[in-house]
Amino acid sequence: MILIVGGAGYIGSHINKELNKRGYETVVFDNLSYGHEDFVKWGNFEQGDLGNIDDLWQVFRKYPIDAVMHFAAFTYVGESVENPQKYYLNNVRNTLNLLQVMLEFDVKKFVFSSTCATYGNPVEIPITENHPQNPINPYGKGKLMVETVLDDYSRAYGFKYAALRYFNAAGADPEGEIGEMHEPETHLIPLILDAASGKREDIKIFGTDYDTPDGTCIRDYIHVTDLADAHIKALEYLKNGGKSDFFNLGNGNGFSVKEVIETAHEITGKNIKAVEDDRRPGDPPVLVGSSDKARKILKWEPKYADLSKIIETAWNWHKKL
């Protein structure tokens, strides 16, 4: 039985679907603070809060858990700067609760949602796992703290982990059963689709004078179903005796903000009003990761690397909302 903490959220729900498709038994643990109960369409569901260790004990007593995948966290970078305590308490302290209960129940396989935000401003593109980790906000710092804890636990307790550093998760379940629904939404593709469907008036482009071919920022988008596949491959790698390790998960191709808007226009057939605005502080011009290590060690190969495919699946889901 795989415990999916935060499995009612965007990424966790896609992993839950994929695990069940491949014959795994799952239990989702989520406090629904940002998740959606109707995203938990597969496996078992237990509502509970990581901040409350009793909730965790109950779940570990009730199910024969072999491994844990941990998606639960607050995810708004800007908010983490304004209210760091909220982030350190949930993303760091509450993760320590989870690890404590795992050790108490002798569960020692852990797949962790880390992030490219642990690298901070890139000094080299593409970003490999050897890039220095100098996060520039409490969100990224908290994730790096957890990676550090995992490294120590792995040495001391025979604990096995895979820390997966995602770039920008995007797209939706190709079968359209679940998708992206953040409240508030800050991710580029859903915001563009909101502009396409008339839910918002326009989409702002922050900075058009970057040193990139069309002047707008370039980011690496990774399809959520490819992320799901990578998680399962990471789990199987640990089960087969793989050593604790960390892996970037990105597409390897960067797309500019203007390219994303243009592709969304082609897919949706809608006019999307783009408004050019000033640069935002702290936005690097290019953030693209190398996932060669995951390809090589986990034998992972993204299937939805094409931007049109990513936007098409997101649009099919978006139209249902």
Ligand X SMILES: NC(=O)c1ccc[n+]([C@@H]2O[C@H](COP(=O)([O-])OP(=O)(O)OC[C@H]3O[C@@H](n4cnc5c(N)ncnc54)[C@H](O)[C@@H]3O)[C@@H](O)[C@H]2O)c1
Which residue(s) pair with 46 in the sheet? 29
How many angstroms separate the Cα of 128 from the Cα of each of 186, 212, 296? Answer: 26, 20, 13
Asked if 88 is an active-site residue, the reply is no
52 vs 271, beta carbon nearer ligand X: 52
CB of 152 to ligand X, least distance (A): 20
> Based on the number of CB atoms within 10 Å of its own CB, is 12 exposed (0-12), middle (13-18) or buried (19 or more)?
buried
118 vs 215, beta carbon nearer ligand X: 118
In the chain, the N- to C-terminal Cα span, in Å, equals 32
CB of 210 to ligand X, least distance (A): 21
User: 173 near 14, Cβ under 8 Å?
Assistant: yes
CB of 295 to ligand X, least distance (A): 19
Binding site for ligand X (CB under 6 A): 6, 8-12, 30-35, 49-51, 71-73, 75, 90, 94, 113, 115, 166, 168-169, 182
Can you tell me the distance from the alpha carbon of 247 to that of 180, in angstroms, rounded to the nearest whole number?
23
CB of 179 to ligand X, least distance (A): 11
Find the catalytic residue in 10, 34, 119, 139. 139
Q: What is the DSSP letter of 66?
A: -
CB of 77 to ligand X, least distance (A): 10
DSSP percent split of the chain into helix, strand, coil, nearest 5: 40, 20, 40
208 vs 253, beta carbon nearer ligand X: 253
33 vs 271, beta carbon nearer ligand X: 33
User: 103 near 156, Cβ under 8 Å?
Assistant: no
Alpha helices (H) along 224-285: 224-239, 257-268
How many angstroms separate the Cα of 269 from the Cα of each of 15, 61, 266? Answer: 30, 52, 5
What is the set of active-site residues? Answer: 139
